Amino acid sequence: MGNTRELTKDNFDSTVSSGVTLVDFWAEWCGPCRMMTPAIEELAAEYDGKATIAKVNVDNESDLAAKFNVSSIPTILIIKDGEVAQQFVGVTSKPDLAAAIESALG
């Protein structure tokens, strides 16, 4: 997973409580999720030290998925200081995600 961080119910709140975090809700069996992996990995490298890029496996963390009403994957949230700033559902372009991170970074 390179520079991405795996989030669980145990570390989710502490990870997203401050700063900007991209959270990718995904699953191993999800083809569109696998299509997103290279872009997510590239963003993790490009925003290292500026934003946290993280993944939540919905099969392992169904409570987190339910908390954010994730009914389709991939769902990607941009969270700033613990609050959802933007949400993307389905395959999303890397430039769109980068723009959302930049917007949240201000």
Q: What is the per-residue DSSP string for 16-31?
A: HSSSEEEEEEE-TT-H
Half-sphere exposure for 49 (CA within 13 Å, toward CB): 1
- Choose the catalytic residue: 27, 30, 85, 98: 30
Length of the chain: 106
Q: Is 33 a catalytic residue?
A: yes
Task: Assess whether 43 carries a catalytic annotation.
Answer: no
Is there a contact between 24 and 55 (Cβ–Cβ < 8 Å)?
A: yes
Catalytic residue among 7, 16, 20, 33: 33
Residues taking part in catalysis = 30, 33
